[in-house]
Amino acid sequence: MSIGNESAWAAMAASAAVKSMVILAAAWLAAKCMRRSSAATRHLLWMVAWAAIVAVPVLSVALPAWRLPFAMVPGITFDVRASGSVPSPAHSLAASSAPVHVPPALPASPRPDWVLGLLLLWGAGAAIMMARTLAAGLALSHLGPASSWQAQAEEAARAMDIPTTPRARQSASGSMPMAFGILRPAVCLPEDAASWSEERRRMVLVHEMAHIRRGDTVWHAAARFALSIYWWNPLAWTAWRECLKEAETAADDLVLAAGARASDYAALLLDVAREFTALAAGAPAALAMARRSQLEGRLIAILDERANRRPRTRAAAAVAILAAVLVVPLAAVHGQDDAASAQVPADIDATIRKAIEQKTHDVLDQAARAAERQRQYDVAQKLLDSSLQIRQQQAGANSAEYAEGLIQLGELAMRRGDQAESYFGQAAQVFGDTLAAARPLLSLGIAQLVRKNYDQALETFQRAEVLDPGRAAMATAWMAVARSHQSDDAEQAETLYRQALSLATPDSTDAAVISRMLAGYLANQGRTAEADELKASVNKPLALPRATYEVLGPGGGVYRVGGGVSPPTLTYKVEPEYSQEARVAKYQGTVTLYVEIGPDGLGHNMQVTQGLGLGLDERAVEAVSQWKFQPGTKDGQAVTVAATIQVNFRLL
């Protein structure tokens, strides 16, 4: 993703921000419910929360999108038939060598981009926070050794069961005792410690060694990194303070477990907090022994004989692991995709001018998809032409980004029955002899099939097969389609279909599509029994990525007809279109949709429960998403009612 696509970055940032607040709020509530647990357990909870908010953005990108599930209760069924015919050469309106049109640049007016500004502000704040922490770590690394209490440091390390004695360092007079370091942990006492009693030095060193035994210096660095990313979030600062408090309290518990008297240790903390201040240069990278803001709560906990001082248990660790696992589905949850919610802009020219000014094509692509769904093809063409212009200006005419714009224009041309080969051909030329070229080559071959250029199509599919073995199955299937249109190659067509099926991964989407293609071919050959048997064996339901077609609606219960619930009534219907690829492949079948018809009379939470592929699923969803209903009712009130819609695609 390029920097120019700030809308995509903004969507990712907004998603991460919302999810971080959910995680931190849940951790805060859990910590309140765990007041009687040990400080070590509560600290573990906070560290899991910190790890989660760092992992969520990464997992959101790495994991496939998952929308919140909904109960698919059986409902009423609507049927609709979509018919089409095999295209004739009349569908081709231009020669394959027609050039791609790129509109002239439109004037841009200087206006601030607040989205980009917020992203830059977020990044600048994070950079400043991280720079401060790095500078603090460098300052601490230059502290000199403290040989005068090295022996006591070794004794304190043994008391805390630390096999390798951490480094002992000495800071300026008046500095707060602290622990720091990731790969090579260290404890640091001020010069004043030379005049302390041995017992006082021992308790201070044991406290700092307790942090190292627990791994707090490493956790502190990780939490500081997360805080730097989410510096703007008040919940993050609350979590930071709670995490520091629990880490210090857990270290106090280990000191008391090592034999220190509670009253003596409390007095020591009070003296340290009164006499010393945190080392200003190293504070962000170290655990200071006695922050005044935490002192009252720590003293109460130290003197409370009933306090739970147990270390982290296996049960607590198991709960923490479970909480971390639950982060995975949260990361995968995506809000409604912009492409699904995009509307056709009221002022197309103003939208184009703003996109060119902001140097982002995303908004034009989304608006073009919305226009295409509503069959406003001229509007979609204008938007995609401008999008291609921006792609060229931003990345150049030899970039993958520019090739993607050509592919989108080719797909639009295919849908409206225009010449599409030049778009796909130029996109393939941009990619050259690389794996990425196989995608536009497959589309180019299909466009050539529509124009009945079967020999050219065969050559194109063969090239796609060679460049990308992962697309070999579908490339071979399309070669079978080309052969099936050549009457003298009917037998070879079946051979190619079966070869394609052998190349496809079992139970994959490709295998299901190829099986249906072969079944249709056998049916056209009069081999009905074989065709029916093959279709019955296809158990893989095909569904598009949810973001492509999801239409979110109001929450609340979903009802089924009966028991006082009346069914919705269809008042406006848009007929589905046949896709060009399905038409040329003589591909037929039924797409089944689950849809919730809301009180607004529109379909929501739409899902393909049984799909066909080859563009027919999209066509079914696009049409049904524009249907309007008289909503169902319960006790006289409009309610959300579940329904099944079957779209039957048949060729005449």
Cβ neighbours of residue 134 under 8 Å, at least 6 residues apart? none
Does a structural domain hold residue 533? yes
Mean pLDDT confidence for 484-507 = 83
User: Distance between CA 554 and CA 235 in Å, rounded?
Assistant: 29
Instruction: Using the 3D structure, point to which of 282, 314, 329 is the last residue of a domain.
Output: 329
- Whole-angstrom CA distances from 204 to 62, 136, 184, 307, 591 are 45, 22, 19, 21, 72
Lowest mean pLDDT across 19-33, 52-66, 450-464, 616-630: 52-66
Listed ranges 24-38, 293-307, 329-343, 625-639; the one with the highest mean pLDDT: 625-639
**Do residue 484 and residue 582 come from a single domain?**
no
Mean pLDDT confidence for 132-145 = 87
Answer for the pair 250, 40: CB distance below 8 angstroms, yes or no: yes
Residue 390 exposure: Cα atoms within 13 Å on the Cβ side: 27
Answer for the pair 136, 281: CB distance below 8 angstroms, yes or no: yes
| Domain total in the chain | 3
Angle (CA) 300-303-304 rounded to 5° is 80
pLDDT surpasses 50 at 589: yes
**Do residue 564 and residue 535 come from a single domain?**
no
Mean pLDDT computed over every residue of the chain = 79
Answer for the pair 161, 209: CB distance below 8 angstroms, yes or no: no
pLDDT surpasses 70 at 88: no
Does a structural domain hold residue 454? no
Three-state SS at 172: coil
User: Distance between CA 439 and CA 100 in Å, rounded?
Assistant: 19
pLDDT surpasses 80 at 210: yes
Segments in 506-642 forming alpha helices (H): 509-524, 528-536, 580-584, 616-624
**Do residue 484 and residue 610 come from a single domain?**
no
pLDDT surpasses 70 at 6: no
Three-state SS at 616: helix
**Do residue 303 and residue 323 come from a single domain?**
yes
Does a structural domain hold residue 489? yes
Token pair belonging to 431: 């990619």
* Backbone region of residue 398 per phi and psi (left: phi > 0; alpha: psi in -120 to 50; beta: other values): alpha
Segments in 374-508 forming alpha helices (H): 377-395, 400-416, 421-431, 438-450, 454-467, 472-484, 490-503
**Do residue 483 and residue 593 come from a single domain?**
no
Does a structural domain hold residue 627? yes
In this predicted structure, what is the pLDDT of residue 549?
33
**Do residue 250 and residue 277 come from a single domain?**
yes
* Backbone region of residue 110 per phi and psi (left: phi > 0; alpha: psi in -120 to 50; beta: other values): beta
Does a structural domain hold residue 6? no
Q: For residue 81, count other CB atoms closer than 10 A to its CB.
A: 12
Token pair belonging to 304: 């409370």
0.85 exceeded by pTM: no
Cβ neighbours of residue 245 under 8 Å, at least 6 residues apart? 294, 297, 298
Answer for the pair 133, 182: CB distance below 8 angstroms, yes or no: no
pLDDT digits (tens, 9 = 90+) for 536-552: 777 544 443 333 333 33
pLDDT digits (tens, 9 = 90+) for 402-437: 999 999 999 888 888 888 899 999 999 999 999 999
Mean pLDDT confidence for 91-109 = 36
In this predicted structure, what is the pLDDT of residue 342?
54
CATH number of the domain that 514 lies in? 1.25.40
Angle (CA) 102-106-110 rounded to 5° is 140
List beta partners, residue 333.
66
In this predicted structure, what is the pLDDT of residue 534?
82
**Do residue 492 and residue 572 come from a single domain?**
no
**Do residue 642 and residue 523 come from a single domain?**
no
**Do residue 564 and residue 642 come from a single domain?**
yes
What's phi and psi for 642, nearest 5 deg?
Answer: -80, 145
pLDDT digits (tens, 9 = 90+) for 287-342: 888 777 777 788 888 888 888 887 766 655 665 565 555 555 554 454 444 444 45
User: Distance between CA 580 and CA 306 in Å, rounded?
Assistant: 76
Three-state SS at 291: coil
Long-range contact list for 9-15, CB < 8 A, 24+ apart? 9/119, 10/115, 10/118, 10/119, 11/338, 12/57, 12/60, 12/61, 13/119, 13/122, 15/57, 15/60, 15/334, 15/335
User: Domain range holding 247?
Assistant: 117-329
pLDDT digits (tens, 9 = 90+) for 381-401: 888 898 899 899 888 989 988
Instruction: Using the 3D structure, point to which of 540, 555, 586 is the last residue of a domain.
Output: 540
pLDDT digits (tens, 9 = 90+) for 217-254: 898 898 999 999 999 889 999 989 999 898 989 888 98
pLDDT surpasses 90 at 463: yes
